[in-house]
Amino acid sequence: MEPLQLGPAPAPITLKDTVPLSVDLHPSADLLAAGLITGQVNCYSYTDTTSKRLFASKHHKDSVRCVKFSNDGAHLYSCSTDKSIQVMDTETKQVFLKKAKAHDDGINTLLPLNETLVASGDENGVVRVWDLRAKNIVQEWHEHEDLVTDLHFVPHKKTIVSTGADGYLSVYDLRKKDVVARSDQMEVEMLCVAPVRNGKRLVVGNSDGSLSIWSWGWWGDFKDRFPGHPASVDTVVAISDDMVVTGCADGLVRVLSIHPNKLLGVLGAHDEFPIESLAQSHDKRFLVSCSHDHTIRFWNASILHDSGSDDDEPEGQEEEADLPGGDGSGSDGWESASDDEDADADSNADGSDNDEEDADSDAEAEIDPSRAAALDDDPFAETADDDLALGEAPVPDSADAPASGNESDSSSSDEEPDDQKKRKKKKGILKRSFEVKKPKKDTFYSGL
């Protein structure tokens, strides 16, 4: 396979004396937000070839673990190991809402659910849902025994999926106090999650370098496994209905196909430093990654969509009502932040944090795609059979199919046509290639 030929992209943003831990891109504008280990939140604008810092705001006392734009882009959420959640207006660049002690432990991840609800997960395994209007907790679950690593929300199902460093995947309904389902213990840290196949599959990145593929509604165990990363898969983002990009602790940004499971190529590298976060631009033009090498890098992803992959389809229409909410009677410690508290925001910064680093180093990180002949083989190692990849099954050609005249039952009056037999044979092979041993009944949960 030809190495991925990337188009133009802005130069890397280099952050001196700090490390970016999270990035997110605005849902409709060319804006990037980054949460830093120093407790700072930076915002940048970008074009096809340049980027510029718009402001830097230090509202957290400790490292910012996660930043997320709201669905309409009007607000920017951030959470920190200082146990706080803060909400910034992207127009005024001011924090207008904050909760100093949103959790008893440091907060690792958060996810806006709609205009008024936001979910958060902490270092002790607690997941909470906040109503920003009532300024209180409307749901809380304690299913994880360790760090909550990632959250995924399905609006039309009112369902949250969480992954944890304890090796569990948990499923919650916003309208129910009890957990809907929890997986078996996977004996690996589950670090990130992304939906594919119109939401019918979830791809989970694990600490052993594998991707586990889960079928919606079957929560006892994963349906398929895609090994091959040489280190932990710390972040994953779906860029189409059957394609994901992973950020690995070895510093490579890889592009992979899901069902069939194939390594398609490498977008670039962060000089062997672990990658903390990935995000895709609103127009799917760029992918952005941040790493311990003190940089935020842009990757031109146009080639991935020009290759013919279909765009993600909506998972369903979001229903209104039936969501938990508060009556506003208890603010639960939330404060409306005044403009005076944000005087330290560098809202008029006109400088850029970019260093003119040579983009040629990205080309050195590109590798030829690899194939795997069996589920347990390394899919990133070269094999002699270029026509067989993990998750695929060989389909008999018409020349290889048995002739109907040689079959012992060829004289039967009710014999099926040859083309119908081939379709059945192909379906059976594909079904067996994805088949996984079912978990025990007492550990199987089917809540949805």
Q: How far apart are CA 143 and CA 179, in angstroms?
A: 7
Q: How far apart are CA 65 and CA 77, in angstroms?
A: 11
Q: How far apart are CA 352 and CA 396, in angstroms?
A: 57
Is the confidence at residue 297, as pLDDT, over 50? yes
Q: How far apart are CA 352 and CA 269, in angstroms?
A: 22
Tell whether 238 is covered by a domain: yes
Q: Which domain holds residue 119?
A: 13-362
Given a contact cutoff of 8 angstroms between Cβ atoms, the answer to whether 375 and 225 are in contact is: yes
Tell whether 339 is covered by a domain: yes
Handedness of CA 80, 103, 160, 257 (dihedral sign): positive
Q: Which amino acid is present at 204?
A: V
* 305 closest CA partner among 255, 235, 364: 255
What angle is formed at CA 154 by the lines to CA 151 and CA 156, rounded to 5 degrees? 160
Tell whether 69 is covered by a domain: yes
Average pLDDT, the chain: 78
Given a contact cutoff of 8 angstroms between Cβ atoms, the answer to whether 317 and 156 are in contact is: yes
Domain's final residue, options 308, 337, 362: 362
Is the confidence at residue 66, as pLDDT, over 50? yes
Q: Which amino acid is present at 270?
A: H
Q: Which amino acid is present at 359?
A: A
Tell me, what's the pLDDT at 7?
83
Residue 436 CB neighbours (<10 A): 14
Tokens of 222: 């994963």
* pLDDT tens-digit series, residues 373-420: 333 444 444 333 333 233 333 333 433 433 444 443 433 334 444 544
Is the confidence at residue 340, as pLDDT, over 50? no
Tell whether 8 is covered by a domain: no
> Total domain count for the chain?
2
Tell whether 377 is covered by a domain: no
Tell whether 177 is covered by a domain: yes
Q: Which amino acid is present at 446?
A: S
User: Are residues 299 and 427 part of one domain?
Assistant: no
User: Are residues 354 and 417 part of one domain?
Assistant: no
* pLDDT tens-digit series, residues 196-229: 999 999 999 999 999 999 999 999 999 999 999 9
User: Are residues 358 and 281 part of one domain?
Assistant: yes
User: Are residues 145 and 267 part of one domain?
Assistant: yes
DSSP characters for 394-440? PPPPTTTSPPGGGSTTTT-TTPPPHHHHHHHHHHHHHHHHT--PPPP
User: What mean pLDDT do residues 83-112 have?
Assistant: 95
Domain's final residue, options 311, 341, 362: 362
User: What mean pLDDT do residues 184-188 have?
Assistant: 96
User: Are residues 416 and 285 part of one domain?
Assistant: no
User: Are residues 301 and 184 part of one domain?
Assistant: yes
Helix (H, G, I), strand (E, B) or coil at 307: coil
Domain's final residue, options 362, 389, 419: 362
HSE-up of 226 (CA within 13 Å, CB side)? 26
Phi, psi of 197 (to 5 degrees): 55, 50
Helix (H, G, I), strand (E, B) or coil at 6: coil
User: Are residues 350 and 421 part of one domain?
Assistant: no
User: Are residues 247 and 174 part of one domain?
Assistant: yes
User: Are residues 60 and 192 part of one domain?
Assistant: yes
Provide the CATH number for the domain around residue 86: 2.130.10.10
0.85 exceeded by pTM: no
User: Are residues 26 and 88 part of one domain?
Assistant: yes
Tell whether 414 is covered by a domain: yes
Phi, psi of 339 (to 5 degrees): -65, -25
Tell whether 393 is covered by a domain: no
User: Are residues 75 and 185 part of one domain?
Assistant: yes
Is the confidence at residue 40, as pLDDT, over 70? yes
User: Are residues 142 and 37 part of one domain?
Assistant: yes
